[in-house]
Structure 1
């Protein structure tokens, strides 16, 4: 180093290239949005490349916004809470940076399909009797795009569309009603109401809703049977159990009676099972089980034969009683 360069500093400057982001605007959701009436929707307008932008919102044809605006720094939010028919509109967000203006728009389409269908049955279902089954879809819009159908175990009973009805900006409850005559084969089957809001140009879920309900069909006692253990012929002093079974809805109550010699029926029990622990000769005869509910009654009889000494019984009988029992034994033989 020479003497002239001593005590001097050398400065080397390096210039690095940098880029300034251009002023741009974006809006979210990015595409047209479907909003359900009664829900909350936020449209967000934001910018890049500007430190302190200013924002403004307006709707198509300068209709009221039907919402509130909150702008802070590089973002502005238009809130719709709740969404109403006035929000079925195209919205334009404008952002200003110095003397530069940027704009972006978004379309909001409103609909209403808030809950599953409701099934109502006019009266309790009784076998062979007419009843109305109604499927209702509450608060639907636009209802002219609604399709409804009633199904029974997958088979379509009826269908209805509303495209022919005049369009109005209101939510409505729409119904499909069918007359139904239940049979024994319908017991336990499922009735299903299916509703579809057919709007292909709008993106929302669900577009299909359904409700199912098991059919409870009332009917009188049927297929009544009596089983006897050990058998209908029992030795004197032994035990016998008679069990009555009957099917119905609601479940039948069971009653046991015995036909007396005099022709009168003697009430014995309200249980399905009748047990005689120590059979006597006078226990022989005709027993009757009856199943009863409010939709009917059905009877089943059984003859009980007692094997053993009947001398004492015969001694106590009148001539009429003997004739009756002789007739009974002859009938059984």
Structure 2
């Protein structure tokens, strides 16, 4: 028998979130991640009610190839921010297996100090097979955390080089962690990800990696000269740091704060947030249209045959798509 906790009223969710109750916040995040239509309805109402309390946090995306030390780095950064008086939420996008559909959800064990500190909120969320491993409701979760009073939200991506644009489109500052001394400063991350970066940090610049980090840092600074700037007013920074020892992390936060102040003073932060809201709206429209398309009974009945025909090469993808869209649109007119 499976047990499902009863839903709270929208007002109860809102009250618990504002009062800083971690249990209520966790239940609200589960609500926005749900695919249940009733849960979605409650979540929409909740987000509308807490919206005036959102938008004031530092929103920071952090990516890098597996093994670069993202979780250890975030653990150290988060603890330093807590000690400086910030309230920190970490939204860790956990990779979902393409074969089993399962996810590891192991970030709480890797962020040992943050996960145990009552001042922080660490939420690993399965990617749900979405493009690039971006959790399906990370944006809504971010708003809930802001409404709960968290003024720094760190979004850790899977770091597989896909869909990082989706994370860059929901944060103010995008950080790419790089390994030292791998012989290739791009290390399998597409050049486009570097173009999204507001800062590049060579991690693990400690012990035997210290010299290699200096070399990698020089290579990155040279490489940046050939990449277009994301914003005319900001030159992306390159730093060396260690998630293990804390080297360079204070300097990184100074850089992040400088970036924030610059965007606020020029009005670009407001423009950025507005553009992100528009992007978010169209993302939801596409998602809900696809859901409606797949749930259409005639489409569902025809889709397997046409999909098999496309795979067998007996019809083109374009012809199959046209036929399915014609079926879907007949009742929409």
TM-score band, normalised by shorter chain:
under 0.3
Larger-gyration structure (1/2):
1
The structure whose residues are more often strand, as a share, is 1
The structure whose residues are more often helix, as a share, is 2
Higher relative contact order (Cα pairs below 8 Å, separated by 6+ residues): 2
